[in-house]
Structure 1
Amino acid sequence: MHLDDLRWFVVLADTEHVTDAAAELGVSQPTLSRALARFEERAGVALFDRVNRRMRLNEYGRIVLEHARRGLAEMELAGERIAALRDPDSGRVRLAFLHSLASWYVPERLRRFRQAAPAVAFDLFQGPAHEITERVLTGQSDLAITSPRPEAAELAWRRLHVERLCLAVPRDHPLAAKSRMRLSAAAGEPFVALEQPFGLRLLMDDLWAEDGLEPEIVFEATEIPTMEGLVAAGFGVAIVPVPRDGGDPKVVHVPLTNARAKREVGVVWVRDRILPPPAERFADSLQPE
């Protein structure tokens, strides 16, 4: 199969619409339809279900899509490695990182690295842990700075930083007077939490289970600032990392004494995949604190 066939299939799989895919690719609909027919003939199975003139990627198509993405990513990686060998002080790093590390940790590491390697460019992706881990596995990102440590055996991990977790409470809350506390002291409190399967939510679930809590979750957010805002508004309490800048002045952050009340932040990459020289150089610059 040609690389163009793979690219066309990925776009068609993403849109599930021949007209939209053809417009995005800049080819005619008949040309794309013929290419899909050839692609499915080589695959030996239909990759889409046709229902009422609509296309839906089927289970065979999802398998091919996974490998097509990886194939394209590998060819892009090959081009980047060649470019880096020709000019080792340039190149590109594809980096994914957590939302909650976007305001301080990642920008500071990028700033330091760019002082030493100003010609290296970055493709950045910000998202939740499960999404950025998948991007590394499929080759869409070279590296990810994430938490907690992913379970996938294919991924290598190096711990960079440990954050203590705390209970965020409204400033006028009875627990705000505590200097530190065990999470069990918040039994019966309504909680604002992150959605499943966000990495911090997994840590929350572990802490609740450790102290035998079955919390009332009044809202599930997608970002920590939203959680803090709802705590400030009196909707409930929340488990968050100790803020670097003091956080919302209407919120008090009480450190948790639970042994597992911490978030390990680390860098991950695919163990058996050779990193492009710029990505390897950036990974080497990320030293544990």
Structure 2
Amino acid sequence: MSVVQIEDLRGLLALGEHRHVTEAAAALGTSQPTLSRLLSRVEAELGARLFERDAKGVHPNPLGDLTLLAAKELVERYDRLRRDLAGTLDPDSGTVRLAFLDSMATSLVPRILHDVRERFPRLRVELRQEPGHEMMADLDAGVAELALNWGPQRPPYGWIALQTQALALIVPPGHRLAGRPRARLADVAGEDFVTIPRGYGFRTLVDDLFAAAGVTPRVTLEIGDLATVESLVGAGLGVGLVPERFVGASGTVGLPLNAPGAERVVGLTWRADRRLTPAADRFREFVAGAAPYR
């Protein structure tokens, strides 16, 4: 009696990705006849034809699509189990799954990873760069163990503040406000405003600041990346609100804000109602000891 094994599922996934036996075999480091036999064996074991063969290659049929979805989940869960077991046996060489905001990709994340690498050179970190709402969903699903997000976070999430970022109003060079030492949000009422789309945590912060100031911004451009927001403002397409470290990259002029709460606190978060893997716990403890990151 044959049994479908994890490596068989990897073979199916390679076929699903490459749609050609020769290319899939090359990607797996095996031969075309071996992969063809693998496919025939798995189809016989499952009792269903999964791929259709023609002159252009192999293509999953509806049953194949269903099988590939299950194969992907099983392989990912198996690989995660292997990583977690390795991390339990030796936390210093385990794997940490870390999600982080796009706006931290060129600042906080490289600094933290550099410090972690210096202290734990054998620790492996898997990175996921995504919006805040997606990373929180990944924490809930167990796809990520730790996340660098803005906060603070409430239970069931744990939270360590790492950095406070003051926000600045940015205007293009030559703008009527460019020479002022400070600005209010009311100063840009009625102007074209460039910002992050709704659904992002930073957009919630921006909307709350405007609401507290009694101003409704005239949003004309939305893009899910703060560096691009700064670029668009630098090109004269409006004004914007960004953390101070983004000011000036494209020639924008930054003005400190006269507005309570005009700052973003970023930090490390995790599901406090679950036990972290030893590797993730070691990462968290180290980063907490190194905080705050200025």
Same-fold call, TM cutoff 0.5: yes
Which secondary structure state, in structure 1, belongs to the residue aligned with residue 211 of structure 2?
Answer: helix
Which residue pairs with 1:47 in the alignment? none
* Paired letter, 1:80: G
Residue 91 of structure 1 deviates from its aligned partner by 2.1
Q: 1:114 to 1:172 in 2, by over 3 A?
A: same
Deviations 1:160-182 (A, max 9, x none): 21111111101211111221222
Which residue pairs with 1:254 in the alignment? 255
* Paired letter, 1:228: E
Residue 121 of structure 1 deviates from its aligned partner by 2.1
Equivalent of 2:200, from 167, 183, 198? 198
Q: 1:29 to 1:235 in 2, by over 3 A?
A: farther
- What root-mean-square deviation, in Å, do the aligned CA atoms of Structure 1 and Structure 2 show? 4.0
**TM-score of the two chains, using structure 2 as the length reference:** 0.71
Q: Say whether residues 1:283 and 2:290 are aligned partners.
A: no
Which residue pairs with 2:165 in the alignment? 163
Which residue pairs with 1:109 in the alignment? 112
Which residue pairs with 1:188 in the alignment? 190
Do the aligned partners of 1:73 and 1:139 also contact (CA within 8 Å) in 2? no
* Paired letter, 2:284: A
Equivalent of 1:78, from 70, 85, 98? 85
Deviations 1:163-216 (A, max 9, x none): 111111012111112212221221111111112322211211212222331423
Do the aligned partners of 2:190 and 2:218 also contact (CA within 8 Å) in 1? yes
Which secondary structure state, in structure 2, belongs to the residue aligned with residue 272 of structure 1?
Answer: coil
Which residue pairs with 2:52 in the alignment? none
* Paired letter, 1:81: T
Do the aligned partners of 1:70 and 1:138 also contact (CA within 8 Å) in 2? no
Do the aligned partners of 1:6 and 1:72 also contact (CA within 8 Å) in 2? no
Q: 1:7 to 1:131 in 2, by over 3 A?
A: farther
Percent sequence identity is 35
Do the aligned partners of 2:230 and 2:250 also contact (CA within 8 Å) in 1? no
Residue 236 of structure 1 deviates from its aligned partner by 0.2
Rounded to whole Å, the distance in 2 between the matches of 1:226 and 1:35 is 48
Q: 1:195 to 1:249 in 2, by over 3 A?
A: closer
Q: 1:35 to 1:206 in 2, by over 3 A?
A: farther
Which residue pairs with 1:145 in the alignment? 148
Q: Say whether residues 1:90 and 2:100 are aligned partners.
A: no
Which secondary structure state, in structure 1, belongs to the residue aligned with residue 245 of structure 2?
Answer: coil
Do the aligned partners of 1:170 and 1:232 also contact (CA within 8 Å) in 2? yes
Which secondary structure state, in structure 1, belongs to the residue aligned with residue 279 of structure 2?
Answer: helix
Residue 233 of structure 1 deviates from its aligned partner by 0.9
Q: Which runs of 5+ in 1 are unaligned?
A: 40-52, 57-61
Which secondary structure state, in structure 2, belongs to the residue aligned with residue 286 of structure 1?
Answer: helix
Which residue pairs with 2:137 in the alignment? 134
Larger radius of gyration: 2
Equivalent of 2:232, from 221, 226, 230? 230
Q: 1:33 to 1:273 in 2, by over 3 A?
A: farther
Which residue pairs with 1:123 in the alignment? 126
**TM-score of the two chains, using structure 1 as the length reference:** 0.72
Equivalent pairs, count: 273
Q: 1:286 to 1:31 in 2, by over 3 A?
A: same
Do the aligned partners of 2:152 and 2:159 also contact (CA within 8 Å) in 1? yes
Rounded to whole Å, the distance in 2 between the matches of 1:198 and 1:212 is 20
Which secondary structure state, in structure 2, belongs to the residue aligned with residue 238 of structure 1?
Answer: strand
Q: 1:7 to 1:261 in 2, by over 3 A?
A: farther
Do the aligned partners of 2:140 and 2:271 also contact (CA within 8 Å) in 1? yes
Q: Which runs of 5+ in 2 are unaligned?
A: 47-58, 63-68
Which residue pairs with 1:59 in the alignment? none
The farther-off stretch of 248-257 and 233-242 is 248-257
